[in-house]
A and B are shown apart, each in its own frame.
Chain A
Amino acid sequence: MSNFRTSFKLGIFLGTKQLKRANRSTTGLIIFIMTLTFLNLVVVSGILVGLIVGGNNANRDQYTGDVIMTTRAGKADIQKSQDILATVRADKNVTQYTYRFLSGGTVEANYQTRTDFNAKADTAGTQLTGIDANRENDFSHLSKQVVEGAYLDPSESGYVVLGANLLQRYSSSFGDGFDSLGGTYPGDRVKITVDGKTQEFIVKGILKSKVGDVSIRAFVTQGDFLRLAGRPSLDVNEIALRHVPTITDEASKDTFVRSGFSDYAKIQTATEAIPDFLNQIKTAFGVLGNMIGAIGIVVASITIFIVIFINAVTRRKYIGILKGIGVSPMAIQISYLLQSMFYAVSGSILGTLILYGLLVPAFNAHPINFPFSDGILVAEPAGTAVRIVILLIVTLIAGFIPARMIVRKNTLDSILGR
C-alpha cells in the first residue's frame, strides 16, 4: 500500500509538471473541447426537455390550472355544476378557480363582401367559450395573450375574442387540416352559429396562446353565451382551479373525487390533462436527448483518448526512460489520469459557469418561441451533477486505456524507439 502511495505521489508530481509546462494553447483547446462536450451533454437535452416543460407550463398557466374538471364524454355539460362550484369555493385549499361554458359551433367571416353565393362561405369550426371575463383573466391571464385589439369587457355585449388559430394569417403554417378565416381584424363582424342558432358579433380582439386548445376557441361573455346557446341550466363545461402549494395536485383532485363529482365531470390533474401530443413529443425528445447525450459522451471519450494517446505516444521514449530508471508503471499511468481529470474538470467547471451564468438566464429572458411552448433551458443541478460525474468517469477510462497501452510496451523498445 505504501508502494501505491509513493506511485500516486510521484504520478501527481509528474502529471502536474507536464500540465504546467504543456503548450498553453493546446491545453486551452482541449479544455475548450471538453467545455463544448459538457454543454452538448447538458444543453441539448435541456432544451428538448425545456420545450416540453414550457408546453406543460403553458397548459397549466393558461388552461388547466392545477386540477381541471371537464365534461364527461357524451354529456352536454357538467351536471350539478353549481354544487361542485360551491364545494370548490368552500375548499380552503383552493386559491383560485374559473369556469367555462363551451359549445361546438362555427364562425363565419367576410359574408358582407361575399359576391359569389355559390362559392363556399368563409367559415371555421370553433369552440364557443362563455367566460366570466374578469375571473378568467385573473386565472389564465388571457388578456396578456391578446395580440390584436383588446380583451373582452364584461360590461359590454356583442363582442368576441377569436383564437388566432381560427385565422388564416396565424395558422396557415400548420393549420392546413382546419378551415380558417381570411382577413378578419378587430372591428370586423362575424357570424357565430351554435346549435343552429346564429348571432352576429364584433371582433374585439385576437388572442394567441401556446395552448392549442385555447387558440382555437372564440371567447364571449357568459351572458352572451347563455343568450345564444339558450341553455336550460347554468351547468358549465369546464372548471379549473389552483390549490395552495402545501398539497399536491393529486391530493387536491382526490378531494373532489371523494365528494363523488367524478360521476358528473372528468377530473384530472394538470399532468393528466397534458395533451397526448405533448406526452408523445416528450417521450420522443427524451430518447433524442439521451441519444445526443450518448453521442456527446462518445465524442468526449474519443477526444480524451486521442489527446492522451498522442501525448503518450510522443512521449513513449520518456515513458521508457522512467520505467528504465525504476519508476513504476502505476506512477506513470496516474500522471496521465491526472491530466485527463484536469481537462474534464476544467471543462466541466467552465461549462457549468457558462450554463448557469449565461445560458439559463438567457433562455429564461428569451425563450425559444415554439408553436406550443415557450422553450426554456431546463438544467436541474442534480441532473447536471450526474452528467459531470459521467463525464469524469468516462474521461478517466478514456485516459487510462491509452496510457496503459503505451506504459505496457517493452521498456527497452520504448527507450530505443523500436
Chain B
Amino acid sequence: MINVTNITKTFKNGSVETHVLKGISLRIKSGEFVAIMGKSGAGKSTLMYQISLLDHPTTGSIEIDGINATDLDTNARTEFRLNQLGYIFQDYALLPELTAIENVMVPLLMQGKTDDEAKRIATDSLKKIDLLHRADNLPSQMSGGEQQRVSIARAVAHNPKILFADEPTANLDNVSSQAVIDIFRSLHAQGQTIVMVTHEKEYTIHCDRIIRISDGQVVTE
C-alpha cells in the first residue's frame, strides 16, 4: 500500500543545512496498524509529513496504492489527500467556528456530496464514536478528548485508504487517550490502514508493527 524508498529531508536555513531524514525506506501493507516510535526530535513527524503528502522529501520516492506521489502536482496532491487520506493532529485541529458535525462535513462537501448526504454521513460517523449528543457543539464547548474524537470522525468519515495520526494522545488524559486508542483498534478491526506516531509504549499493544526512528533513520522494524 505504502512504499517509501530511501527518502531524505534536508532543511536549509541560510547556510545551515539540517539533515532530518537520512535515507528512510519502509513498506506498509493494506490493513496494517503501524506505530512509529522514537525520541523527541528523531524525525517522526517529519517522516509522517512526507508519507502523508503534506510535504515533499528532498530525495527518494513515495508510492501509495501504486501511484508515485512524488510526481503529483499541488492540485493533484490536494485532491489525493482529500479522497485517499485521513489526518489526526496532536492538537485536534478542528475549525473553531464550525460545530462538531460541521467539522466532519467539510471534507465530505469538498468531495461534492450534497448537504443532506454530508450531514447523514457525518451523523453516522459521530454516532460510531459515541458523540452524537455533541453534534451541535463548537470545539470550545467540548473537552480535549471529545475534540480529538470529533477529529477522528472527520478523518474517517470519507473512508480514507490510510489514516495518519501524529501523537493523537499527547494532549489527552489517560481515559481520553484510551478512548482514542479503542477507536483506532476498532477501525483497525474493520480493515483500516493506520499509521500512528506515538512515544507511549502502552498505546502500541494493538499495533501490528512498530517502526523505530532514531536520528532520521529506521533502527528496527
Chain A residues with CB under 8 Å of chain B are 2, 6-7, 9-10, 13-14, 17-18, 20-22, 317-318, 321-328, 331, 411-412, 415
Contact = CB atoms under 8 A, between A and B. Distances in A.
Nearest to A317: B93
A16 to B, nearest CB: 10
Closest 8 A/B residue pairs (Cβ):
A326-B82, A21-B97, A326-B81, A321-B93, A6-B112, A10-B109, A412-B54, A412-B55
A324 B54 contact: yes
A324 B78 CA distance: 7
B110 A412 contact: no
A186 B49 CA distance: 96
Contact of B82 (A21, A325, A412, A415): A325
Interface string B46-87: 000100001100000000000000000001001111110111
A326 B110 contact: yes
Nearest to A6: B112
B106 interface: yes
B98 interface: yes
21 contacts: A6-B109, A6-B111, A13-B106, A14-B98, A17-B97, A18-B97, A21-B97, A21-B138, A22-B97, A317-B93, A318-B95, A321-B89, A325-B81, A325-B82, A325-B86, A326-B81, A327-B82, A327-B110, A328-B78, A411-B54, A415-B54
B109 A326 contact: no
Contacts of B212: none
B91 to A, nearest CB: 9
Interface in B105-149: 105-107, 109-112, 138
Contacts, number: 71
Given A21-B138, A318-B95, A412-B54, A324 B102 contact: no
B44 interface: no
Contact of B110 (A17, A18, A321, A331): A331
- Is chain A's binding surface mostly helix, strand, loop or mixed? helix
A318 B96 contact: yes
B87 A6 contact: no
A327 B138 CA distance: 20
B87 A325 contact: yes
Contacts of A326: 78-83, 85, 107, 110
A415 B110 contact: no
Nearest to B85: A326
Contacts of A22: 97
Nearest to A19: B97
B154 interface: yes
Given A327-B82, A412-B55, A10 B97 contact: no
A331 B107 CA distance: 12
A10 B106 contact: yes
Nearest to B84: A326
Contact of A13 (B80, B83, B109, B112): B109
Nearest to A319: B95
B54 A327 contact: no
Contacts of A317: 93
A323 B79 CA distance: 10
B158 to A, nearest CB: 9
Contact of B81 (A13, A14, A324, A331): A324
A2 B81 contact: no
A411 B107 CA distance: 16
Contacts of B82: 325-327
Contacts of B112: 2, 6
A323 B93 CA distance: 12
Interface centre among A322, A324, A415 (most CB of B within 10 A): A324
Contacts of A20: 97
Given A17-B102, A411-B54, A415-B54, A9 B107 contact: no
B103 to A, nearest CB: 10
B89 to A, nearest CB: 7
B170 to A, nearest CB: 15
Contacts of B109: 6, 9-10, 13
A287 to B, nearest CB: 45
A21 B94 CA distance: 15
A249 to B, nearest CB: 60
Nearest to A2: B112
A324 B87 contact: yes
Contacts of A17: 97-98, 102
Contacts of A7: 110
Given A10-B109, A324-B87, 4 more contacts: A13-B109, A327-B106, A412-B55, A415-B93
Contacts of B54: 324, 411-412, 415
Contacts of B85: 326
A415 B45 CA distance: 13
Interface centre among A21, A323, A324, A325 (most CB of B within 10 A): A325
A366 B107 CA distance: 58
A327 B112 CA distance: 11
A7 B78 CA distance: 13
B55 A10 contact: no
A327 B107 contact: yes
Nearest to B46: A412
Nearest to A413: B55
Contacts of A328: 75, 78, 110
Contacts of B81: 324-326
Contacts of A13: 102, 105-106, 109
A325 B95 contact: no
Given A10-B110, A326-B110, A321 B95 contact: yes
